[in-house]
Structure 1
Amino acid sequence: MCATPVSVPPVSSDPALPGERFAPPIVRWRGNEPYQASFDAMREFTAQRDAQTPDELWLVEHPPVFTLGQAGKPEHLLIADSGIPLVQIDRGGQITYHGPGQVVAYLLLDLRRRKLMVRELVTLIEQAVIETLAAYNLAGERKAGAPGIYVPEGASGLSAAHVGAKVAALGLKISHGCSYHGVSLNVSMDLSPFLAINPCGYAGLETVDMATLGAQAPWHDVAATLAARLEANLAAHWDSTLAATLSVAEAAASDPLAEAAERETAADAAVSGQPHQPQAGVTPAA
């Protein structure tokens, strides 16, 4: 089941122009969908996209499935006959579980067009999860070297009994400068399948959901909150990138020595007949 996508204007193939803004990703509510169908659709979308293809954000809930990352070790599946299918996929990371009551957000983004590094994207996603949890009065934190979001030290209320437990998992695939896969946030679900695996390759790692931590929230509300935070953080990243670009341009334009050196270099190039290459950090005058 899919909702009508949000209408957005066309996206420029190179939006790095003063004052230009990205349209937000098209949000697609795909509903409850078998994992293999989502996986195939993500790969097809990424393979067929071009420089003008708008980015998309897919919100999905999957029937029970274990997924094993590209370099995942099968021995992290502890119970082979659990009755839950195992799908080998191409994201990073080890094994995880998807099932009813979990919000899965897939980010199909052109990272080159957004001037967005992979590590920046991971940080952006994790921050969106932390902000989503905060909207329901829950705390979350990152752990160095272990992507995802965890219950922090000093957590209060029901969370205090689950310090260190994982509430959200993250895994990405980058192909030709574009991302797919994304993040899963446990809302209110049967957590017993996590006992059949070493979650994300960590033996004994506890996995919790928001309900266990004391937040009773509908799946759709949490999905909408997460989507809004992802969109806001993507927009903030682009705004900061644009501001930095404009600051460099303004600094160069306001430096008479740099401007004079640029004119002199251009004149020398005209005399020599060689093409002029702007100096690093110097913006040619209009």
Structure 2
Amino acid sequence: MRHLGRVGYEQTWARMRDFTDTRDALTRDEIWMLEHPPVYTQGQAGRAEHILAPGDIPVVQSDRGGQVTYHGPGQLVTYFLLDLHRLGFGIRSLVSRIEQAMIDLLAGYGIAAHADPAAPGVYVDHAGGLPGRAKIGSLGLRVRRGCSYHGLSLNVAMDLEPFARINPCGQRGLRMTQISELGGPDRVATVAADLEPHLLARLRPAAPSA
């Protein structure tokens, strides 16, 4: 488990690719927790029409799954450099485990959240007393050579305005929310420390079949 502070997106992405390309069967898995300076990242399936008005925020074409999202200070980003074969679960199981870790964390803050099998991520209903649902946590992963990289972003206490310049995750009109607005902590370091045990509990290796 590494806590990297605030680091650039592209340099971190390069480190993830290098880690994945050079690891072997004995390489220990790692989880990186960090923040990024303001940046839009476009997933492999991303469509240009979902980037509405980026302004002076750079747009980076990434190799993760999913559509466009925003990263910025006050958002916890967590990257999962895991050997899925060794852990014994596939990408769908990994996504569900990460989502549930975020849901477990939020429940501890008194925030009721849920996942949506049709749209990966974590959502809150009636956030701020407004109708409908809002997204609080996003997911975008890549698997190469049986190993994962990229990961989750969880909104803690950030400027949400840049999300209005895109269709977040390719969903028009999707509202975003964050932990600090729903009664939870407003420090990324606090949320990172609180999320860590939930991730470790959910990412235990699958039991071998009989």
* TM-score bucket (shorter structure): over 0.9
1:188 aligns with 2:157: yes
1:132 aligns with 2:105: yes
| 8 Å contact from structure 2 (residues 43, 65) kept in 1 | yes
Take 2:84 and 2:131, find their aligned partners in 1: how far apart are those partners?
35
Runs of 4+ in 1 over 6 A off after TM superposition: none
More RCO (CA 8 Å, sep 6+): 2
The C-alpha deviation readout for 1:179-221, integer Å capped at 9, x for no partner, is: 0000000000000000000000001100111112222332111
**Equivalent in the alignment of 1:29:** 3
| 8 Å contact from structure 2 (residues 185, 191) kept in 1 | no
175, 181, 188: which one aligns with 1:212:
181
Structure with a larger share of its residues in strand: 2
Take 1:49 and 1:95, find their aligned partners in 2: how far apart are those partners?
28
**Equivalent in the alignment of 2:72:** 99
33, 37, 52: which one aligns with 1:78:
52
**Equivalent in the alignment of 1:109:** 82
1:61 aligns with 2:35: yes
The C-alpha deviation readout for 1:68-91, integer Å capped at 9, x for no partner, is: 0011111111004x1000000001
Task: Classify the secondary structure of the residue corresponding to 2:89.
Answer: coil
Matches within 5 A, 1:1-286: 27-80=1-54, 82-152=55-125, 159-161=128-130, 163-235=132-204, 238=205, 241-242=207-208, 245=209, 248=210
Gaps (5+ residues) in structure 2?
Answer: none
Task: Classify the secondary structure of the residue corresponding to 1:173.
Answer: strand
Q: Identity of paired residues, percent?
A: 49
| 8 Å contact from structure 1 (residues 58, 106) kept in 2 | yes
| 8 Å contact from structure 2 (residues 136, 178) kept in 1 | yes
The C-alpha deviation readout for 1:97-127, integer Å capped at 9, x for no partner, is: 0000000010000000111111110000000
Task: Classify the secondary structure of the residue corresponding to 2:106.
Answer: helix
Gaps (5+ residues) in structure 1?
Answer: 1-26, 249-286
Take 1:215 and 1:161, find their aligned partners in 2: how far apart are those partners?
18
Take 1:182 and 1:163, find their aligned partners in 2: how far apart are those partners?
26
| 8 Å contact from structure 1 (residues 187, 211) kept in 2 | yes
- Compute the TM-score of the two structures, normalised by the length of structure 2: 0.96
| 8 Å contact from structure 2 (residues 81, 149) kept in 1 | yes
- Compute the TM-score of the two structures, normalised by the length of structure 1: 0.71
Instruction: Tell me how far 1:161 sits from its aligned partner.
Output: 2.2
